[in-house]
Structure 1
Amino acid sequence: MSISSRGEKLAKFDVEPITFTETDANGVHFLHNDALIVETVIGNHTICRILVDNGSSVDILYLDCLEKMGIKKSQLMPNSQPFYGFTRNSFISEGLIRLPLTVGG
């Protein structure tokens, strides 16, 4: 009987590096420690000024944003889990929804 071990199988990803040029820095005041702000397509709508904060573990769209996207409050799935940390108080969201997300070309 022969036993051999295989190395851990890793997923393969095509990863394009994210790079910035001096043109991208136009209007940025250095030295700073700002979070990254991006634009992407969510649910077939271009959403501008998305704050990317690596210290946060939630993705939040405000109800007025969903309404502008044509998504009714009735389409949200109920949610009773409280959120903490924004103002040190807790709050319950209006609900949850899954939307397709496109980042990059």
Structure 2
Amino acid sequence: MPRRRRTSPNVNHLNQKPPELFEREVDDIMFTETDAKWVYYPHTDALVIKMKIGMVNVHRASVDTGSSADVLTYDAYKKLGLLDKDLTSTGGHLYWFTGNSIGVKRTIRIPVTLEEEPYAATQVAMFTIVDQPCAYNVIVSRPLLRAMRMVTPIHHMTVKFPTPTG
């Protein structure tokens, strides 16, 4: 009798395509020197953007292409008017900027909208909530960058992303 191979339900297979942000063909994303007209060189600045979390505009969102967790500070979470009962308990550790380990106890899935009028795109993000002081309200990292197909060239200090309208 042949052995059946057991598979885990959270294993991604190559034949499984991730859900599309939207159905239409995506245009090429290009950057020109005009996109960098407000950048003063040389720079080593952090890339900081504004985004809408739920229905609230949130400033001081840092884009961190080297991190693997989208982080929302507990202080910013409370200012969004969200309730603690909406948080999901979880376990694990997050290694902070200083190299210190922080115990993670809560997460939340919440819609995030990036917009530059008249274009906008929305995606649900899983945020890790940390009760730690931070210069930023949000740290956007690889999971949300990939889900929204965001392109982040450091030279231009901007992000571009496809939207349903272009």
TM-score category by the smaller chain? 0.7 to 0.9
Query: RMSD of aligned C-alpha atoms?
Result: 2.5
Aligned to 1:45: 56
Aligned to 1:17: 29
Unaligned segments of structure 2, at least 5 residues: 1-14, 120-166
Q: CA deviation at 1:15?
A: 4.0
Kindly tell me the number of residue pairs found equivalent between the two proteins: 93
Q: Which digits, 9 at most, give the CA deviation of each residue in 1:9-67, with x for residues without a partner?
A: x9764246365252xx1xx5420122311111111111112110111111111111111
Give the stretch that moved more between structures: 60-69 or 32-41: 32-41
Higher strand share: 2
Q: Which structure has the greater CA radius of gyration?
A: 1
Select which of 67, 91, 101 maps to 1:90: 101
Go from structure 1 to structure 2 and tell me whether the alpha carbon gap of 1:69 and 1:18 turns closer, same or farther (over 3 Å shift). Answer: farther
Aligned to 1:58: 69
Structure 1 residue 99 corresponds to structure 2 residue 114: no
Go from structure 1 to structure 2 and tell me whether the alpha carbon gap of 1:34 and 1:21 turns closer, same or farther (over 3 Å shift). Answer: closer
With normalisation by structure 1, the TM-score equals 0.72
Unaligned segments of structure 1, at least 5 residues: 1-7
Summarize the alignment of residues 57-76 of structure 1 with structure 2, pairs less than 5 Å apart. Answer: 57-76=68-87
With normalisation by structure 2, the TM-score equals 0.48
Aligned to 1:4: none
